[in-house]
A and B are shown apart, each in its own frame.
Chain A
Amino acid sequence: MRFALRELRRRPGRFATATVILTLIAILLMFLGSLLDGLIRSSTGAIRAQDGDVLVYSDASRASLARSLIDPGVRAEIESVPGVVDTGGVGLVQLGARVPGAGERDLAAVALFGVEIPPAGVPEVPPPGQVYADEVLRSDGIAIGTELLLGPARSPVEVIGFVTDTSFIGQGALWSDAATWREVLEQNRPGARVGDEVFQALLVRGDTDADGLAASIDTATGSTESLSITDAANALPGVEEQQGTFNQIIGVTLVIAVVVIGLFFALITVERTALYGVLKALGAHTSTLFAGLVAQAAVVTLIAAVIAAGALIALDAAIPPGGLPLDVTPERIIVSTVLLLIAAIAGCAFSLRRILKIDPASAIGSGS
């Protein structure tokens, strides 16, 4: 293995092409992964920020707030389920918001949540008419003190603070009390108005495991669909589809990586037939030679991954906030690197048979 690494050091030019191609593949892989993470993050933030264990929707709502209603009777039933400690109603209306100073048609897409339990990052439920806004809305020109006019009815709310990572399906969230939400909903979507004490979903805090609690709530009411917060986030429309699509593209990219590495190292192996013959004559096992090949592939892959990670971090820093929803995390970079390493080893495996078949007699036989 040592001699293989020496070759890398002394003849870097030989490996340059493979390194460049792998770097591009690694960038693509990490970019796609980070984009997926960013999209999922900006889809699910508002749900993940819920400061509880279980989110209860009504039956047949398919985990959509807009299709769900929880009335006070059901709430009472839920509150009497053993393990339920606290509950808070949740309501949502998605609207365009007019920002003072912005153009008449330049609406900011917002998701107004009315809550009884403040989400992570919001110190307390704000007083009526006031909201906490998600940081992403800053790029729409929103600041503390801004008065937003929501929807066609131009319902006014005032921004009194900011909170991070609470986007909902790509829209910036506004967090208000339940009464403000009910009022804005009634003014802008008269058809969807709900009575006092009626919510779209119920956030439940419990003292047992979330999945078990969700199941016992559904059994008790017979008319609800309860999900742990994590499941509720993943059940949002589009989340699974996005994950599926991206993971397919990532899979294809990995297959390309396997082929590229496979071809490159197969070529190198062919070039090295004579050298491998000599080494075998000197007593080298196929496994030793193959380990050297894998070591070279691993180093090339790691170099490519490091360059790609650097490029991606630079790209992330260069993109203005509110632009591409790129979420560059160490986890994604490590996962991508590990996947590439596995692809590299798989690619090398194509050359194993060829190395195995190299005859040490070739070293001495046709010497001249």
Chain B
Amino acid sequence: MNTADDPTQNHQTATAEQALVLDDVRKVYRMGDGHEVVALDRARLSVGSDEIVALVGPSGSGKTTLCSIAGGILSATSGRVIVGGRDITDYSERQLTAFRQDMVGFVFQSVNLVPFLTARENLLVVDEMGKRTGAAARRRADQLLDELGLGDRARNLPSQLSGGQRQRVAIGRALMNEPELVLFDEPTSALDTQLGEQVMEIIRTEMKSRQTAAIVVTHDERITQYCDRTVHITDGVLEA
């Protein structure tokens, strides 16, 4: 955490042990009527390689936008984005696709599992869309499902799972590609308090056992106790 808040220093040294560096990142949405929305303003953020950062802020403050930029599914209007030592700022769409296959995991705000695939297949779809390692991926999927307490649910469709179970499948899917950084966008918002805490427990265990960095977006202050550090965001402006 010591150097993490100073992303202006030399990237080569700064990023070596950092999962994410946002350097002066700005995101402006241009609306159809020419009107502009500044969703993220001069954001500076470093996340250590096994750090879990809580990102807390009210609705519309730019949390999802920050995750999208960090995960390479949205391009910043200006500033630099470095993930796992790779500067993705100027990546082409193709490079970003490959980057997402390798480097990041997403748990989306709404669960978004593939409805006609079983829990296990929802994990394997990551491999099918990406590297196609086959047997290795199947082993990893089975191991993840076991760890997530879904061993006996592997063959269930999402519609046959509870909300908490679905969220756990989504977590497993985010971990399939052994990412450097996992982005959780309000992972507990659809769950009651108790289930939410269970899911956070699992997230923390999984991240720490793999030494993987994570950003957990929430507007629930209680969730932050499962994280190493909390960053607040208001109207697109970060404050530690």
Interface, chain A (partner B; CB < 8 A): 1-3, 6-7, 10-11, 274-275, 278-285, 288, 359-361, 363-365, 367-368
Contact = CB atoms under 8 A, between A and B. Distances in A.
A7 B129 CA distance: 15
A281 B102 CA distance: 12
A283 B108 contact: no
Given A275-B114, A282-B173, A367 B126 contact: no
Given A274-B112, A281-B100, A3 B128 contact: yes
Nearest to B101: A283
A11 to B, nearest CB: 6
Contact of B73 (A7, A11, A361): A361
Contacts of B130: 282-284
A281 B106 contact: yes
B64 A7 contact: no
B74 A3 contact: no
B156 interface: no
Contacts of B94: 285
A363 B112 contact: yes
Given A275-B114, A282-B173, A367-B110, 8 more contacts: A279-B125, A283-B98, A283-B101, A361-B68, A363-B112, A367-B185, A368-B186, A368-B189
Contact of A364 (B106, B116, B173): B106
Given A367-B64, A367-B185, A282 B125 contact: yes
B207 interface: no
A281 B68 CA distance: 9
Chain B interface size range: 20 to 34
A195 to B, nearest CB: 81
B108 A278 contact: yes
Nearest to A1: B128
Contact of B97 (A285, A361, A367): A285
Contacts of A6: 116-117, 121
A291 to B, nearest CB: 11
Contacts of A285: 94, 97, 129
Interface centre among A2, A283, A288 (most CB of B within 10 A): A283
Contact of B109 (A1, A279, A288, A367): A367
B129 A363 contact: no
Contacts of A367: 64, 108-110, 112, 185-186
Interface of B: 64, 67-68, 71, 73-74, 94, 97-98, 100-102, 106, 108-110, 112, 114, 116-117, 121, 125-126, 128-130, 173, 177, 185-186, 189
Contact of A280 (B64, B97, B189): B97
A284 to B, nearest CB: 4
Given A2-B128, A283-B130, A368-B110, A361 B74 contact: yes
B129 A364 contact: no
Given A364-B67, A364-B73, A283 B112 contact: no
Nearest to B96: A360
A266 B113 CA distance: 22
Contact of B100 (A1, A283, A365): A283
B71 A283 contact: no
B109 A368 contact: yes
Contact of A365 (B64, B101, B177): B64
Contacts of B101: 282-283
Given A283-B130, A367-B64, A278 B112 contact: yes
8 contacts: A281-B106, A283-B102, A284-B97, A288-B128, A363-B108, A364-B109, A365-B74, A367-B110
A77 B185 CA distance: 94
Nearest to A359: B73
Contacts of A1: 128
B214 to A, nearest CB: 15
A274 B189 CA distance: 20
A3 B109 contact: no
A278 B73 CA distance: 10
Contacts of B121: 3, 6
Contact of A7 (B67, B108, B116, B173): B116
B126 A364 contact: no
A10 B97 contact: no
